[in-house]
Structure 1
Amino acid sequence: MHQQSIIETLKTRRIKLQVTQETLSLLTGLGLRTIKQLESGKGNPTLETIQKIADVLGLVLRLDIKNLTSENEINNDTL
């Protein structure tokens, strides 16, 4: 899932739960400006920031790392 999709999911969930940006700021300990910038697509949130918001909104953040090469083949040029 790309960052923008994650942010849209967080925003949609916040709205569905009828949580204001101000309340989300208080519950996460993040600045209101941070919440507003995040939802408007500005800034570059850390995983920690996204995790704080997901926790408050009752969402699970899962990171999948996929090996794009075969298990037996490692191309050192791409590392």
Structure 2
Amino acid sequence: MAAIQKIGQLIQQRRDNMLITQKQLAEMADIGINTLYKIETGKANPTLESLQRITDVLGMEITLQVKKV
């Protein structure tokens, strides 16, 4: 699974667990609902700023790690 799709899946799962609609999350994160939909479905290449806004609302954090080879 591509990284963008995995990120979208994690965001959607967390949003669903918190019982927040896409519209509510988009408003709280100050991003467009179409943008959020595209992120969740893996059809967007979100900016780091957009991801940060979303993850802040959802109580998540963005981390980077070195790949294991």
TM-score of the pair, normalised by structure 2: 0.83
For the pair shown, which has the larger CA radius of gyration, 1 or 2?
A: 1
How do residues 14-53 of structure 1 correspond to structure 2 at under 5 angstroms?
A: 14-53=15-54
The structure with more helix, counted as a fraction of residues: 2
CA distance in 2 between counterparts of 1:39 and 1:2 reads: 12
2:63 alignment counterpart: 62
Residue 7 (structure 1) aligned with residue 8 (structure 2): yes
CA distance in 2 between counterparts of 1:57 and 1:17 reads: 8
Give the alignment's Cα RMSD to 1 decimal.
1.9
**Paired AA for residue 46 in structure 2:** P
**Paired AA for residue 60 in structure 2:** L
Where structure 1 has 5 or more consecutive residues not aligned to the other structure, the ranges are 69-79
Report the identity percentage. Answer: 36
Instruction: Give the 4+ runs in structure 1 shifted more than 4 A.
Output: none
CA contact (8 A) 2:9 2:41 kept: no
